[in-house]
Amino acid sequence: MQAAFFDLDNTLVKGSSLFHTGRALVRTGLVARRDLLRFAISEFRYVRTRTEISGGAQGLADRLLHLIEGKSTLQVTAQCHEAVLNTISQVLVPQMVEQVKLHQVRGERTYLVTASPAEIAEAVAELLDMDGCVATRLQAQNGRYTGLLAGPVVHGARKADEVAELAAREGLRLSQCFAYSDSINDLPLLSRVRYPIVVNGNARVRRIAQLRGWAIVDTDRADRTYWPYPPLHNKDARVEVSSVETAA
């Protein structure tokens, strides 16, 4: 069975899902505005340069854990779902949402794979009617966050390993699957699937994709998009790949 795995930040969402969620949590009073401001400079750099935030996924996790330590899991989860509906839904990348729908129309499973917390990832996956997600889990006891992780950050090789475990459980063959990501840290995952697609990657990631003959999708510049794989449509599909053009 085929499936498509989608990264979240700078792939399905423009920028950082943590930052966008934080904006919404500030309005509810759950997160202090001064704490969100610490993300702002990194977020600006991330969007403009397509380079991951300073400190990487672990740094983001550490900052998030500090913000929610001691807070109610029910409250945070509910607020994250509301943030996804009201804020993240507004910064989804239309071309990539179209790709998710296209895979679904083709009868393929779709999964979100991200270093972001499961509280955010599950809400995004539900919003896009995806089959599930692989995400970082936060530790909780007695209904409150402890300020610790429940396991490693789902990042780099760890993300690839967890996707392989998911594929084994669900009877998916990675040799027939797609993976979409902007990050050089996702090379282990992209290297495991039949159809790796670099989305909105920086020059370094695009160069690697070119050398390996992988697909490249740039949602801002169609002239940078290169799709060497069979077209993603069939006679029964209701969604056409009009926004992902093929470049020579």
Instruction: Show which residues are catalytic.
Output: 7, 9
Tokens of 220: 């801002």
CB 76 within 8 A of CB 30: yes
Q: Are 184 and 196 in contact (CB under 8 A)?
A: no
Neighbours of 202 (CB within 10 A): 16
